[in-house]
A and B are shown apart, each in its own frame.
Chain A
Amino acid sequence: MIRLEKVSKSYPTSTRPALDGVDVDIEKGEFVFLVGSSGSGKSTFLRLLLKEEVPTAGRVHVAGKDLSRLSNWKIPALRRSIGCVFQDFRLLPNKTVHQNVAFALEVIGKPQATIEKVVPEVLDLVGLDGKAGRMPDELSGGEQQRVAVARAFVNRPMILIADEPTGNLDPSTSIGIMKLLDRINRTGTTVVMATHDAAIVDSMRRRVVELSQGKVVRDQTRGVYGYGA
C-alpha cells in the first residue's frame, strides 16, 4: 500500500537532510506508529505520501502509484484516497460540525444527496451524533479531533494519515481518539500515525517505525515506544 525506497529529503534551507535513505514498506490494513523525537522527520515522511513534498532522492509508492511519475493534475485524486488528521484539528471555525465534514465532500464535487446521507453516518461513527449543529468552539478538544477524523474518513479513504493527533489532548481523551483510529483501522483502512506519546504506543502494541535524525533506526511489529521492551 505504501512503499518508500531509499528516500531522502533535504529542505533547501537546512543543512541536515530531514529524511536520509528511508526504506519502509507498509501493507494494506496495517496500523503503523511513526515515532521519534521532534525534528526526526515524521511530518516530512507523511507529507511525502501526500506529494505535498517531493523526495530529493528515492521513490515513494502509494496505492500502487509511483508518486514521482504522478502528474500534477492527478494529485487531487491521490489525496482523495488518503484521509488526514493533524494535531491542530484544522477545522473551519465559521462552519458547524456538519458543514465542516460536508465541506470535504462538497469541494470534491459529491452530489448533495450523497452528502446528506454519509455525513450523519460518519458523525455517528465517531460518536458525535447530536452535535452536528455545534460550532467548533463549542466543542472540547477531543470532540474537535473527532470532527477532524470524521472529515478525514467520510470519503472512506484507503489510507488514514495522522500527524500527532493526540498532541493537544489530555491522556484520557487521547485514549478515545486512539480507539476511534483503531476502529477505522479494523474496517481495512491503513493507518499511519506519527506520535511521540509513549503511553499510547505502548498500550496499542502495533508496528513501530522509529526515526532518528531522518534515519529509520527501528522497525518492529507489535512494538513499544522506547528501546528495551
Chain B
Amino acid sequence: MRAQFILSEIGIGLRRNLTMTVAVILTVTITLTMAGVGWLVHKQVDVMKDYWYDKVEVTIFLCGTNSSSGNCAGKEVTAEQRDQLNADLHATPQVEQVFYESKREAYERFKVQFKDSPDLVRNVSADAMPESFRVKLKNPEQFQVVASAYQDRPGVDAVQDLKKLLDPIFKLLGVGQKVAYIFAGVMLVAATILISNTIRVAAFSRRRETGIMRLVGASNLYIQTPFLLEGAVAGLVGAVGACGLVVIGKWYVVDQQLRPLLTFTNYIGWSEVVATIPVLLLSGVLLCGLASFFTIRRHLRV
C-alpha cells in the first residue's frame, strides 16, 4: 500500500470536509479535556488525603473565660480537670500521642500563622487564646469514639476534628469530578455521532472514487484505510488540544490561582498531568478510529 497515495487521500478528505472536521476536533478536545479534568480531580483528592490523613489529629479545646459552650458554664477549666483529662487521654487505647498546648503556645502559633496580618495579631491577646489537648489517634477513623467520650467532660469546651473540616472539601471535589465525568460522557456521545456523520459524508462525497476502487478490485483495507486514518487523525488532533488544555489548566488554575490562595494543602504535580497525556492521546485516536471503523463497515460495503 503506497503511503503517499493514502496520505494525499486523507488530506483531500479532511479538507473537503473542513467544517465538520473542525467540529469533530473541537468535540473530541472538550470530551477528553473533561475526562482529563475528572481524572486529575481524583488524583488531587488522593494527594490531599495522603497529605492530611497523616496529620489528622483531634483537638480538645478547654474552657476559657470567653468559651461559649454550655458545658463550661462560663467557668475556666481547673487544674484538676486538666490533669484528669490528661491522665485519661493517656489511658485511652485509641490514642497514640497527646500534646498539651497552653494559651501562650497557642498565641505563638497564632502569631506565626497570621504574621501577614499584624493588625489582627495586635488585637488578640494571649489570654484570649484557648488552651487545648492535641490528640493523635492510632486510626483517624476512630474520631467519633474519642469525641463522644470527651465532649461532655467537665472543663472541655469543644472537640474538633480536622478530618471533619476536610470532609466538605472532599465532597466538593467529588461533585466536581462527577460533573466533569458526566460532561465528558455527554460529549462522548456527541463526538461519536459527529465522527460517524463526518465519515458518512466523506464516504458519500467520495462514492465515485470508492465505487471505481471496488470495481477494479481494490481491497477493503485499501478502500477503508483513508477514512479510518482520517478519523484517527482528527481524533489525534483533538486529543493534542485536550492535552494542551489540561496542561494550561494545571498551570493556571492549580499553580497560579489555587496554590497561593489555599495554602493548607498539597497539590498534584506535573507527574500526574504527564501521566494523563498518553492516555488522552490514545483515547482520542481510538475513539475516532473505532467510530470511523463502524461507520465505514456500515456504509462502504463490498
Q: Which residues on A are within 8 Å of B, measured CB to CB?
A: 50, 72-73, 75-81, 84, 90, 92, 103-104, 106-109, 112, 151, 155
Interface residue tally for chain B (C-beta within 8 Å): 18
**29 A-B Cβ contacts within 8 A?**
A50-B215, A72-B302, A73-B219, A73-B220, A75-B217, A75-B302, A76-B218, A76-B220, A78-B217, A79-B214, A79-B215, A79-B216, A79-B217, A80-B217, A90-B208, A90-B212, A90-B215, A92-B208, A92-B209, A104-B216, A107-B212, A107-B216, A107-B218, A108-B217, A108-B218, A108-B219, A109-B1, A109-B222, A155-B216
CB <8 Å contact, B219 and A76: yes
| Cα–Cα, bound, A104→B212 (Å) | 8
Task: Name the residue of chain B whose CB is nearest to the CB of A107.
Answer: B218
- Residues of chain A with a CB closer than 8 A to B211's CB: 90
Q: Is the interface of A mostly helix, strand, loop or mixed?
A: helix
Is B213 on the interface with A (CB-CB < 8 A)? yes
For A78, the chain B residues whose CB sits under 8 A away are 217
Residues of chain B lying within 8 A (CB to CB) of residue A72:
302
Q: Which residues of B contact A79 (CB under 8 A)?
A: 214-217
Q: Does B5 contact A (CB under 8 A)?
A: yes
Q: Are B218 and A92 in contact (CB-based, < 8 A)?
A: no
Complex CA–CA separation, A73 to B212 (angstroms): 17
* Closest 5 pairs (CB-CB, A-B): A80-B217, A79-B217, A107-B218, A104-B216, A76-B217
Residues of B with C-beta under 8 A to A84? 215-216
Cα-based distance from A224 to B123 in the complex (angstroms):
119
Question: Mask for B201-215, Cβ within 8 A of A = 1, else 0?
Answer: 000000011011111
CB-CB under 8 A from A112, the residues of chain B are: 2
Is the Cβ of A107 less than 8 Å from the Cβ of B222? yes
Interface SS of chain B: helix
Q: Which residue of B lies closest to A78 (CB)?
A: B217
**Residues in B199-241 with C-beta less than 8 Å from chain A:** 208-209, 211-220, 222-223
Query: Other than the known A92-B209, A106-B5, what 14 A-B pairs have Cβ atoms closer than 8 Å?
Result: A73-B219, A75-B302, A76-B217, A79-B215, A81-B217, A90-B208, A90-B212, A103-B212, A104-B216, A106-B2, A107-B213, A108-B216, A108-B217, A109-B222
- Residues on B with C-beta less than 8 A from A90 are 208, 211-212, 215
How far apart are the CA atoms of A67 and B209 in the complex, in Å? 25
B contacts, CB < 8 Å to A: 1-2, 5, 208-209, 211-220, 222-223, 302
Looking at the assembled complex, report how far the CB atom of A131 sits from the nearest CB atom of chain B, in whole angstroms.
20
- Specify which chain B residues have a CB less than 8 angstroms from the CB of A106 in the assembled complex: 2, 5
In angstroms, how far is the closest chain A Cβ from the Cβ of B215?
Answer: 5
Residues from chain B with Cβ under 8 Å of A92 in the complex: 208-209, 212
Q: Determine the chain A residues whose CB is within 8 A of the CB of B2 once the complex forms.
A: 106, 109, 112
Q: How far is the CA of A84 from the CA of B1 in the complex (A)?
A: 23
Q: Judging by beta carbons under 8 Å apart, are B216 and A80 in contact?
A: yes
Q: How far is the CB of B297 from chain A (nearest CB, A)?
A: 12
Output the least CB separation between A82 and chain B (Å).
8
Q: Which residues of A contact B5 (CB under 8 A)?
A: 106-107
Closest B residue to A93 by CB, please name it.
B208
In the bound complex, how far is the Cα of B171 from the Cα of A206, in angstroms?
87
Q: How far is the CA of A50 from the CA of B214 in the complex (A)?
A: 10
CB of A155 to closest CB in B, whole Å: 7
With a CB–CB cut-off of 8 A, which chain A residues contact B208? 90, 92
Question: Across the interface, do A151 and B217 meet the contact criterion of CB distance under 8 Å?
Answer: no
B53 CB to closest chain A CB (Å) equals 59
